[in-house]
């Protein structure tokens, strides 16, 4: 029997690495993709029991992603699982983000997913047409920030809302043409993965300006929230494969956070101004306002 193949971006750490570990346990061929060469090399060294292809790729670059897709096709044929997972974080008041911030975050978080979808979906559909037994699944990593709009992290919010929209549309579009290829969107909350330190891989041609006060505050809050997360990246990877096995679209690491999504949607339905995100924790909101308004 032909081994299945999983393509995983951001495979050097976090959700990507844990998903690769579970894929390997299932005997799948692995295509490990990351922009950080040392992390990728360390990750690839784990997987001696399966066939693995490791590639250093900047997912924001169309030509690098096209070369990746061609290499996958040549080595393994159409993949069975594509996990468009690579992502970076950025915060601060939305008008304080530089053009380089926007280009970096949208390049990785959104265009990385766009490239994965536009390059691998046709390969998967062709495989489905050629083989009635073929089954494929695309998983895009968004965030709860793709369903909410927490303040002081606008660029990230925008990128993840776009991924949710892309993924919902992909799900509907696939349903029009096939029953053999499915899609899911992963919306994690705060989970220790290393994303809060993603500036370590920021490209030199998109340099970060001197951080503003709001950006420093956002970085500190994100570091604290991510490091204190109780759910692990391995826990989330298990949720991803459960969704693949049961063809679930939405994957939530923290379902309790959906209460905020409901409030947001009620704001829309009732034509109500956006609800204070700190309504349940006014002390937190007051402290943030005080820090931002302090001289």
DSSP 56-68: E--TT-HHHHHHH
CA distance 203 to 205: 5
For residue 250, indicate whether it is catalytic. no
* CA atoms lying within 13 Å on the CB side of residue 98: 11
CA distance 16 to 236: 10
List the structure tokens of 101: 């911030």
Neighbours of 61 (CB within 10 A): 17
Length of the chain measured in residues = 295
List the structure tokens of 20: 């690769």
Write the CA distances from 251 to 84, 130, 184, integer angstroms. 14, 30, 7
Among residues 99, 33, 31, 30, the alpha carbon closest in space to that of 61 is found at 33
SS3 73: helix
CA distance 246 to 193: 25
Query: Do the Cβ atoms of 220 and 197 come closer than 8 Å?
Result: no
Among residues 134, 156, 171, 250, the one annotated as catalytic is 156
Tell me which residues are annotated as active site.
Answer: 156
């Amino acid at each position: 029997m032909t081994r299945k193949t999983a393509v995983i971006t951001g495979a050097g750490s976090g959700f990507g690495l844990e998903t690769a570990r579970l894929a390997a346990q299932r005997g799948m061929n692995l295509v490990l993709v990351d922009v950080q060469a040392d992390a990728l090399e360390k990750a690839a060294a784990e997987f001696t029991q399966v066939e693995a292809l490791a590639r250093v790729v900047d997912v924001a670059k169309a030509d690098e992603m096209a070369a990746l897709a061609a290499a996958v096709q040549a080595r393994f044929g159409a993949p069975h699982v594509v996990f468009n997972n690579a992502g970076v974080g950025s915060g601060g008041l939305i008008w304080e983000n530089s053009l380089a911030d926007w280009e970096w975050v949208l390049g990785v978080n959104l265009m990385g997913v766009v490239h994965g979808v536009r390059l691998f979906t046709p390969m998967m559909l062709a495989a489905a047409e050629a083989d009635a037994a073929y089954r494929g699944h695309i998983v895009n990593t968004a965030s709860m920030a793709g369903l909410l709009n927490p303040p002081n992290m606008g660029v990230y919010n925008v990128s993840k809302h776009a991924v949710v929209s892309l993924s919902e549309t992909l799900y509907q579009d696939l349903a029009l043409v096939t029953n053999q290829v499915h899609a899911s969107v992963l919306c994690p909350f705060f989970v220790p993965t290393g994303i809060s330190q993603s500036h370590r891989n920021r490209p030199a041609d998109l340099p970060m300006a001197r951080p503003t006060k709001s950006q420093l505050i956002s970085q500190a809050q994100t570091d604290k929230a991510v490091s204190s997360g109780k759910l692990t990246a391995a826990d989330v990877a298990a949720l991803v494969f459960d969704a693949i096995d049961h063809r679930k679209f939405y994957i939530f690491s923290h379902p309790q956070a959906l209460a905020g999504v409901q409030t947001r949607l009620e704001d829309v339905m009732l034509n109500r101004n956006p609800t204070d995100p700190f309504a349940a924790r006014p002390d937190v909101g007051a402290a943030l306002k005080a820090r931002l308004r302090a001289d």
